[in-house]
Copies of this chain bind each other. A is one copy, B any other.
Amino acid sequence: MPAMTAKPRDRTDESLIALRRILRATELYARDLAQAAGMTPAQLRVLQVVDEKGGATPKALANQMSVSQATVTALVDKLVARGMVERRSSEQDRRQINVVMTALGESTLEHAPDALQQRYVRAFEDLADWEQAQLVSSLERVADMLDAKRLDASPVLTTGELPSANVSE
């Protein structure tokens, strides 16, 4: 077999393998990061979203994270117990609750040593200008190919918990 001239099929596999490595690396680091911040990945994710948005309702958190409102309630309970966030009733609509950061939450997030992101950012910023441009365009292209519905995303590299998908047993 001519080792050269990779057929399209080989390239597809190569791209999938690279993608899979990207996914696994971020998964693995998400655990370590959460551990380092003294909480679980799911809790950290809530904290990140609340921080990013400058406060959010459980409803909004549930949508953003694609989990049920009940799950958000449980996660927020734990973050409240740890003093990371507070619940504040809305004035306009008293059914709504706003989840907001506490000073402790802010500083915990601030000091979470995001090793993966730091390493990545450092490496990325060491690249030549044209290389950066090419990487961004490639990543966006792949994201478009995967993410048809264009989800709202933020520049924070953490994965969330996957739900157990409650399937028979």
Interfacial residues, chain A to chain B (CB-CB below 8 A): 1, 3, 8-9, 11-31, 34-35, 38-42, 52, 66, 78, 116-117, 119-121, 123-125, 129, 132-136, 138-143, 145-148, 150-157, 159-165, 167-169
Contact = CB atoms under 8 A, between A and B. Distances in A.
Contact of A147 (B21, B135, B169): B21
Query: What is the oligomeric copy number?
Result: 2
Given A19-B157, A22-B23, A78-B169, 8 more contacts: A15-B124, A19-B22, A20-B154, A23-B23, A27-B159, A41-B164, A138-B138, A162-B162
Contacts of A134: 134, 138
B38 A157 contact: no
A35 B167 CA distance: 7
Contacts of A11: 124, 132-133, 136
A81 to B, nearest CB: 8
Contact of A141 (B42, B135, B152, B165): B135
